[in-house]
Each structure stands twice: as C-alpha cells, then as structure tokens.
Amino acid sequence: MRKMDGRRRRVFMIFTIGFVLLSQPGFADAAEPLQERSGIITMKGKPVTVVGSEITIGQKAPDFVAQATDMGDVRLSDFKGKVKLIASVPSLDTPVCDMEIHRFNQEAATVARDVVVLFISMDLPFAQKRFCGANGIQNVQTLSDHRRADFGMRYGVLIKDVRLLSRAVFIVDAQNIVRYVEYVQETGTHPDYDKALKVLKETEQQGQTANK
C-alpha cells in the first residue's frame, strides 16, 4: 500500500509540473511543429536554416512577446494604433548592426508620434540597455528575444544553427497589417534603407489621411 501511495504521489507531481510548464506563455506555441527554411539566408556566406513561416505583405502581423531593457514583457499589441518599423538583427555589438541602429535612430527622430521603430535581437536586455546608453540611441526601442525566441519563430527569422535572429525589416501599419518585408539574404549586409523608409513614410501618410 505504501509503495502504491508513493507511486501515486510521483505521478501527481509529474502531472502538476507538466501542467505548470504547459501554462507558461509561449510554451505551447514552441511545442507546435514549425516550418524550417534552408538555403535562403546565409551567414558569412554559409547557408543556414531559419525557423518559422515567411511573413508576406498584406497579412495580419503576428503578435509576439519580447523583453524590454527593464525585463518587462512587451507585445506588438502594446503599440495599437501606431505604425511600426521592426528590424531584427543578429547582435547590436557587430559592425553592420551598429551602423543599422544608428541609421534608424537618426531617421526615427524625424517621424511622427504615431510611428515607432523597434529593434529586436537575441542580446540580453542588460546588453541592449548598455549599448543604447553608450551610443546615444534614444529614438529606437530595443527588445530582446532571448527568453522565448517568440518573435524569431513567428516572423521566420530564427537561425536554427546559432539561435540568433537573421537580419530583416518589417513595416506594420496602425491596423497591424504588414506593408513591407525584407529578409536580407546575407546577414552581414545592410537592408535597403531607402526603400524601407519610403514605405514607412507612405504608410504614415496613409494613416494620417484615414484619420482625417
């Protein structure tokens, strides 16, 4: 009888732990089969595999959860009613990413209040905060995908081989419809700034016209 009671207790504990894990945000989604795409992105010239479906223009932008520099959760839905430029990068502490965030930080100073520029990477929130403080980045909001890789999987930029994000740019309008997508083929090269900023300006103007 004692052996049976002990066994029942172990089964109950396993069931309870499993229930707690499954209830964690992002866990159930991560357990679902995810599409893997190979050969479309290179890193230092070497083809890599990215996890997640490709985002297309005209679709509803998937919501996601990432961490701000204060470790608090931030979701796409937190920016309701705003036009969003979202740039994913491998790491802020690399030359191309450094130049990219400085360029978008400069451009973000000229956009309207209903436009937000988000930079997301696998860098820890503490590292992002240090980087922005040391480099005067004030107009771009950095987000960390390190905890769940939720953005990476939902937007098809999670590099399976190294668990970093590939370089990409997405523009999402105030109704959360995707208006622009660029998956940069080689992670060590820059995105098309001029084209992205042109679409951002057009999306901003369309939103202002719709609100009149």
Per-residue pLDDT band for 111 (boundaries 50, 70, 90) equals: confident
Q: What are 68-81's pLDDT values in tens digits?
A: 999 999 999 999 99
Answer with the residue of higher pLDDT: 167 or 211: 167
CB atoms closer than 10 angstroms to residue 108: 21
Q: Where are the beta strands (DSSP E) in 11-81?
A: 36-43, 46-51, 65-67, 73-75
pLDDT at 11 over 90: no
Task: Give me the pLDDT at residue 209, please.
Answer: 61
Q: What are 151-204's pLDDT values in tens digits?
A: 999 999 999 999 999 999 999 999 999 999 999 999 999 999 999 999 999 998
Per-residue pLDDT band for 27 (boundaries 50, 70, 90) equals: very low
Per-residue pLDDT band for 34 (boundaries 50, 70, 90) equals: confident
Section 32-59 average pLDDT:
92
CA–CA separation, 127 and 140 (whole Å): 15
Per-residue pLDDT band for 45 (boundaries 50, 70, 90) equals: very high
Task: Give me the pLDDT at residue 210, please.
Answer: 60
Per-residue pLDDT band for 8 (boundaries 50, 70, 90) equals: low
* Residue 54: φ, ψ to 5°: -75, 135
95: left (phi over 0), alpha (psi -120 to 50) or beta: alpha
Task: Give me the pLDDT at residue 9, please.
Answer: 53
* Residue 120 near residue 145 (C-beta atoms within 8 A): yes
Task: Give me the pLDDT at residue 24, please.
Answer: 42
pTM: predicted TM-score of the whole model, two decimal places:
0.83
Per-residue pLDDT band for 15 (boundaries 50, 70, 90) equals: very low
Answer with the residue of higher pLDDT: 129 or 1: 129
Report the percent of the chain where pLDDT is more than 70: 82
Q: Is 97 a catalytic residue?
A: yes
- Per annotation, catalytic residue among 96, 97, 120, 157: 97
